[in-house]
Amino acid sequence: MIPIEPCPKTIATALHGIMSDIKTLEKDSENSFQKYNYVDVDSFLKALNPLCSKHGLTIFMNEKSCNIVGDAKKWLHITYEFILVHSSGDTWLQPIQKNMFVQMTGGQSLGASQSYSLKQFMRQVFLIPTGDKDDLDAHEQNFQPKKKEYQNK
């Protein structure tokens, strides 16, 4: 097991302050193709940038690796590393990683991957409520195999 670096008190205090101040983010964007509403990355940044500034926290996002996978359809597997730094200079030396797979369709693939990974990182670290129902409780939990129906000919 890899040891976890202790979080500096300044960063822990900043995280606590941001979590105390953050409000539910409204789903203000619509995916018209798949017919659902979501919170876009700009809404996350508009909500969090002032709070991070207020509490002295900076997030650094680095692309750690990027690999092409797949045969007919090419996918990018990108690993991002996030580092938290306080305005005092304290750095939490425990990087947090996020993996993302996106279909390789051009430069937008990288931007979409970066935006989604950053949103998920912020949602995870600050426990931001968005009203999303993307956990298992929102899905059907019937694990019984479907019965096959046979017709006699």
pLDDT tens per residue across span 88-118: 999 998 889 999 999 888 888 888 899 999 9
> Is the Cα torsion angle 145, 34, 126, 110 positive or negative in sign?
positive
Averaged confidence pLDDT in the chain: 86
Select the more confidently predicted residue: 61 or 110: 61
| Residues 44-60, mean pLDDT to the nearest whole number | 97
Q: Is the pLDDT of residue 61 over 70?
A: yes
pLDDT band at 85 (very low <50, low <70, confident <90, very high): very high
- pLDDT of res. 38: 83
Q: Is the pLDDT of residue 143 over 70?
A: no
pLDDT band at 21 (very low <50, low <70, confident <90, very high): very high
- pLDDT of res. 134: 58
SS3 102: strand
Are 73 and 54 contacting, i.e. CB atoms less than 8 angstroms apart? no
pTM score of the predicted model:
0.78
pLDDT tens for residues 1-14? 778 889 999 999 99
Cα–Cα distance between 57 and 49 in angstroms, integer? 9
Cα–Cα distance between 35 and 25 in angstroms, integer? 19
SS3 51: helix
Cα–Cα distance between 112 and 78 in angstroms, integer? 11
Structure tokens at 80: 């991002």
Contacts of 75 (CB under 8 A, 6+ apart): 68, 69, 101, 102, 103, 104
pLDDT band at 135 (very low <50, low <70, confident <90, very high): low
